[in-house]
Structure 1
Amino acid sequence: MNDPHDPRLPLTPELPEEDNDDEMVGRLLSRRSALRLLGLGGGAAALTAGGVLAQRGGPPPPPGGAEGMGGAGGTSAGTSGATGLPGCVVRPAMTEGPYFVEGEPRRSDLRKDSKTGKVVSGVPLTLDFVTSRVAVGGCTPRAGVLIDVWHCDALGNYSGVSGSAGDFLRGSQVTNAQGKASFTTIYPGWYQGRAIHIHFKLRPLNASGKATGEFTSQLFFPETVNAAVLTRAPYSQKGKADTPNAQDGIYRNGGSQLLLKVTGDPVKGYRATFDVGLNIG
């Protein structure tokens, strides 16, 4: 029988993982609408991929969330999918899941547990966030956005939840004037029923440091890279992941728009950049 306190378990009885897998935050814009706002209406007519621009107010989400606006499509410049489009155009929101912890330490390097001093083992990963505000004619850098990042270790364990101590592989930063924040971490492992992924939360801050909005989602990795990483220690202790992207209930609701394009190798490590437009707050 599964131990309900095991931090490796992806679900809890009170919070089924798929309940809010396509929950949207604020006003929804289709990719076509976002591109029209950017002054790229000519190219937008050929695009049907759905997504969201997190923006407070506006009409309620249409039935089916982003899927109801044309289905999950590829991303634009800076990740995978359609090319030649601003990377900040649209992204789908996804469930927070049961493992978020408020008040994560402000730091760029997530590998060290601040309570024990132990450094978590795994393939190095540098994750760069670029936040923008989508405006008429283009995307402008969005400074002052608090970014929380959390994910499991190489063996599928989260820190600070379900009886697990510590704060490894958790942290937050505020974007700089260029809308950027970079995290040094490890490539996440896998746990039962979920594809390999990273959670993140974006919260614009006002002059007093108070959050004025919130956008939560998840990032995924190409299967070829996952396979290369899982052959190395300590990941190899668990063997092959039981849930590829295509079989993950969260990924199927827009995950292709959150699929990272990574560079590097499993020996020296990887780097990935994620661009996102954030028009809340």
Structure 2
Amino acid sequence: MADAPGQLSLDRRATLALLGLGGAALAGCGSGARAAACLATPAETRGPFAGDGGSDRGGRRHSVLTGDEVIRSDIRDSFAGLEGTAEGVPLDLTITLLGTAGGCNAMAGWGLYLWHNDAAGKYSLYDLPRANYLRGLQQSGDEGTLRFSTILPGCYGGRAPHLHFEVYSSAQAALSGEPAVLASQFALPEDACRAVYSGDRRYGDSLANLDRWPTRRDFVFSDASEEELALESIALEGDAGRGFKGKATVAIRY
């Protein structure tokens, strides 16, 4: 796994050593449990389609973190005058932010910017320059939780299904151009993705792509231990017909 330049993170194996865990995981932050100590979520590459003010591979700069309109829980529609709605199987996602210092305490008042590709594997702003859907910023509540209404992303060539996120000290910090405290990615359960991809035409070649690039072959997740991958994975409940409810935990070295 490649850490993003400039992120305030340590190599994950160094993190294990610092926390005194060796090769064993304590009852996991990944499941939302509070433990006497816990693993920090590993940093991962932001990718070229962040839309947070950085440049893409063509040198173009894009940012949605410029106004309050991006602070929203339902990220399926475009906003700020752009067009389009992301179609796909609904995913109601709850993310809990925890701090590793003091035993995985809830992190209230922190910001998380979430973005991902659509059912066809396209990213707004980059593949679809007139759309900015599937991007949103939320601030965590008293229990450290924040929620997004989105869709299950498709699987495009070269990557397993995933979602990107960045954590900031607050939503306002994100809008003010302060650097993210953590940039990372979520993996998704392959069985649920296969069930969706096999029966929904909106997902195009996603099933064939997933066959070629499962999570354990993905360049971001392939070197993760079982404990680390669990920490970076979204747990899903539901089905392809009704949609899914997802839960994930992000633990920050704070």
Q: Judging changes above 3 Å, is the alpha-carbon distance between structure 1 residues 79 and 86 closer, same or farther for their aligned structure 2 residues? A: farther
For the residues of structure 2 that align with 1:205 and 1:141, how far apart are their CA atoms? 14
Bigger radius of gyration: 1
Q: State yes or no: 1:95 paired with 2:45.
A: yes
Deviation at 1:89, TM superposition (A): 2.9
Q: Judging changes above 3 Å, is the alpha-carbon distance between structure 1 residues 180 and 87 closer, same or farther for their aligned structure 2 residues? A: farther
For the residues of structure 2 that align with 1:185 and 1:148, how far apart are their CA atoms? 13
The residue number in structure 2 matching 1:67 is none
For the residues of structure 1 that align with 2:113 and 2:42, how far apart are their CA atoms? 17
For residues 14-34 of structure 1, the C-alpha deviation after alignment (integer angstroms, 9 at most, x for no partner) is xxxx7x357663345533543
The residue number in structure 2 matching 1:203 is 168
For residues 131-190 of structure 1, the C-alpha deviation after alignment (integer angstroms, 9 at most, x for no partner) is 122233x22211221111110000000001256221111111111222111000000001
Gaps of 5+ in 2: 53-63
The residue number in structure 2 matching 1:60 is none
Correspondence for 1:223 among 184, 190, 197: 190
For the residues of structure 2 that align with 1:135 and 1:221, how far apart are their CA atoms? 27
For the residues of structure 2 that align with 1:212 and 1:277, how far apart are their CA atoms? 18
Deviation at 1:212, TM superposition (A): 6.6
Contact between 1:229 and 1:235, CA under 8 Å: does it hold in 2?
A: no
% same residue: 26
**The residue matched to 1:271 in structure 2 has which SS?**
strand
The residue number in structure 2 matching 1:130 is 96
Deviation at 1:92, TM superposition (A): 0.9
Q: State yes or no: 1:165 paired with 2:130.
A: yes
For the residues of structure 2 that align with 1:253 and 1:198, how far apart are their CA atoms? 18
For residues 68-115 of structure 1, the C-alpha deviation after alignment (integer angstroms, 9 at most, x for no partner) is xxxxx79825549xx895795322110000001123411100111224
What is the letter of the counterpart of residue 116 of structure 2?
A: H
For the residues of structure 2 that align with 1:127 and 1:206, how far apart are their CA atoms? 18
For the residues of structure 1 that align with 2:190 and 2:160, how far apart are their CA atoms? 10
Q: Judging changes above 3 Å, is the alpha-carbon distance between structure 1 residues 175 and 271 closer, same or farther for their aligned structure 2 residues? A: same
**The residue matched to 1:231 in structure 2 has which SS?**
helix
For the residues of structure 2 that align with 1:79 and 1:227, how far apart are their CA atoms? 23
Name the Cα RMSD after superposition: 3.1
For the residues of structure 1 that align with 2:98 and 2:215, how far apart are their CA atoms? 27
**The residue matched to 1:135 in structure 2 has which SS?**
coil
The residue number in structure 1 matching 2:61 is none
The residue number in structure 1 matching 2:23 is 48
**The residue matched to 2:199 in structure 1 has which SS?**
coil
The residue number in structure 2 matching 1:240 is 208
Higher helix share: 2
For the residues of structure 2 that align with 1:207 and 1:158, how far apart are their CA atoms? 24
Q: Judging changes above 3 Å, is the alpha-carbon distance between structure 1 residues 178 and 84 closer, same or farther for their aligned structure 2 residues? A: closer
Contact between 2:137 and 2:171, CA under 8 Å: does it hold in 1?
A: no
Q: TM-score with structure 1 length normalisation?
A: 0.69
What is the letter of the counterpart of residue 240 of structure 1?
A: A
**The residue matched to 2:104 in structure 1 has which SS?**
strand
For residues 195-226 of structure 1, the C-alpha deviation after alignment (integer angstroms, 9 at most, x for no partner) is 11000000113987754752000000121111
**The residue matched to 2:98 in structure 1 has which SS?**
strand
Contact between 2:9 and 2:43, CA under 8 Å: does it hold in 1?
A: no
Correspondence for 2:237 among 263, 266, 272: 263
Aligned length: 226
Q: State yes or no: 1:184 paired with 2:112.
A: no
What is the letter of the counterpart of residue 104 of structure 2?
A: C
The residue number in structure 2 matching 1:253 is 223
Q: Judging changes above 3 Å, is the alpha-carbon distance between structure 1 residues 111 and 31 closer, same or farther for their aligned structure 2 residues? A: same
For the residues of structure 1 that align with 2:233 and 2:146, how far apart are their CA atoms? 19
Q: TM-score with structure 2 length normalisation?
A: 0.76
**The residue matched to 2:99 in structure 1 has which SS?**
strand
For the residues of structure 2 that align with 1:79 and 1:141, how far apart are their CA atoms? 14
Q: Judging changes above 3 Å, is the alpha-carbon distance between structure 1 residues 76 and 192 closer, same or farther for their aligned structure 2 residues? A: same
Contact between 2:26 and 2:37, CA under 8 Å: does it hold in 1?
A: no
